[in-house]
Chain A
Amino acid sequence: MRFGIVVFPGSNCDHDVYHAVKHVLGQEARFVWHKSTDLDGSEVVILPGGFSYGDYLRTGALARHSPVMQEVVAFAKRGGPVLGICNGFQILLEAGLLPGAMLRNRGLRFVCEEVELKADGRATRFTSKLSPGDRFRLPIAHAEGNYTADGATLDRLEGEGRVVLRYCDVAGRVTDEANPNGSARGIAGIANEQGNVVGMMPHPERACEPILGNDAGRRIFESVLG
């Protein structure tokens, strides 16, 4: 499968995604510059983590206006699989492909650690290899991962099984103590209605090989391979 990894000025997880997709999963991977007006035949689009445009104004706010984003939005609307990781998730929110917004972490600090997560909701293009209740650990690294939306939107996301990842404790309980950033209802990842667009704060690309101590992230990329 051909993966397109969008590179914005300030993206810094693009090469990690490239490595995971190409060398670990053996798929075709190519970088797509943010000024590009086509996706170079990509069958999967990944918006990687980083600090696009230096996080100026709001995280993801300026990246959303990059030329390539028109193509990404059109690709998503046609049902193409799009995964936003960390800053990529923030960009998907700003682009309106996913509902809600990110606030500064509750503790005001940049949080960089491995956290406990639980799969939830229904199967999407990026979570079909996970079952609700599956627990695993993935790294997070962000200062704005405090997901928020109005109550009706949160209820709808939950009701439609679109909350696909939650922060939890080792027993799988979604508690305030296990929540690293204050995110509403412990939300770490959500999907759009069709399940082809997924945004997640944790970094699966940093946990795809046993030599890195964790390969739980593989299942996210393997899901889209079908």
Chain B
Amino acid sequence: MRARVFVTLKPGVLDPQGRAIASALVHDGFAEVRSARVGKLIEVELDERDAGRARQRLTEMCEKLLANTVIERYDIELG
């Protein structure tokens, strides 16, 4: 099974990269840009067919390593 794990900064945590990107976009003529946030996408391949178990294991992976839950949140997408 394939999974996509999105790790992003929690709302309210300052994202200097996102801020710089938003400001560059506005300067490039995309005046409608209000903000941008930068995160990570981690693609994981698992030897697991059961979606429930895969999600549970991926959650453990996020808690243990993939995300730092002091500042980051994660979303898991299966398949």
Which one, B65, B66, B70, contacts A100 given CB within 8 A? Answer: B70
Q: Whole-angstrom distance between the alpha carbons of A122 and B65 in the complex?
A: 33
In the complex, how many residues of chain B place their beta carbon closer than 8 angstroms to a beta carbon of chain A? 12
Collect the chain B residues with CB atoms within 8 Å of residue A148's CB.
Answer: 13-14, 70-71
**Separation of A149 and B65 alpha carbons in the complex (Å):** 18
Checking B16, B65, B71 against A106 with a beta-carbon cut-off of 8 angstroms, the contacting residue is B16
User: Interface extent on A, as a size class?
Assistant: 20 to 34
A17 interface hit (Cβ, 8 Å) = no
Say whether, besides A101-B70, A148-B71, A57 and B65 are in contact (CB < 8 Å): yes
Which of these, A65, A103, A107, contacts B71 with CB under 8 Å?
A: A103
Q: Does B35 contact A (CB under 8 A)?
A: no
| Cα separation A101 to B70 with both chains bound (whole Å) | 6
Is A94 interfacial (CB 8 A cutoff)? yes
Instruction: Indicate whether A182 sits within 8 Å of B16 (C-beta atoms), given known contacts A100-B70, A101-B70, A101-B71.
Output: yes
Q: Known A103-B13, A104-B16, A107-B16; judge A149-B70 contact (CB<8 A).
A: yes
Q: Which residues of A (134-189) have their CB < 8 Å from a CB of B?
A: 146, 148-150, 182
CB distance from A102 to the nearest CB of B (A): 8
Q: Is the CB–CB distance between A65 and B70 below 8 Å?
A: no
Chain A residue contacts of B16, Cβ below 8 A: 103-108, 146, 182
* A58 part of interface (Cβ distance < 8 Å): yes
**Shortest Cβ distance from B40 into A: residue:** A57
* A146, B9: Cα distance in complex, Å: 14
Within 8 A of B (CB), among A91-126: 93-94, 99-101, 103-108
Central interface residue in A103, A106, A108, by most chain B CB within 10 Å = A103
- B40: which A residues are within 8 A, CB to CB? 57
A216 within 8 A of B: no
Q: Is the CB of B20 within 8 A of A94?
A: no
A148 to B50: give the CA distance in the assembly, Å: 38
Cross-chain contact B65 with A65 (CB below 8 angstroms): yes
CB neighbours (8 Å) of A93 from chain B are 70
Q: How far is the CA of A150 from the CA of B14 in the complex (A)?
A: 12
Would you list which residues of chain B between 1 and 30 have a CB under 8 Å from chain A?
9, 13-14, 16-17, 20
Bound together, the chains give a CA A149 to CA B70 distance in angstroms of 7
Residues of B within 8 A of A25 (CB): none
Chain A residue at minimal CB-CB distance from B42: A57
**Bound-state Cα–Cα, A101 to B71, Å:** 7
Residue contact A106 to B14, C-beta cutoff 8 Å? yes
CB of A154, distance to nearest CB on chain B (Å) = 12
A61 on interface, CB distance cutoff 8 Å: yes
Which of A61, A149, A182 contacts B14, CB < 8 Å? A182
Question: Which residue from A61, A146, A150 sits with its C-beta under 8 Å from B68?
Answer: A61
**9 A-B pairs, CB-CB below 8 angstroms?**
A57-B65, A58-B68, A61-B68, A101-B71, A103-B9, A108-B17, A148-B70, A148-B71, A182-B14
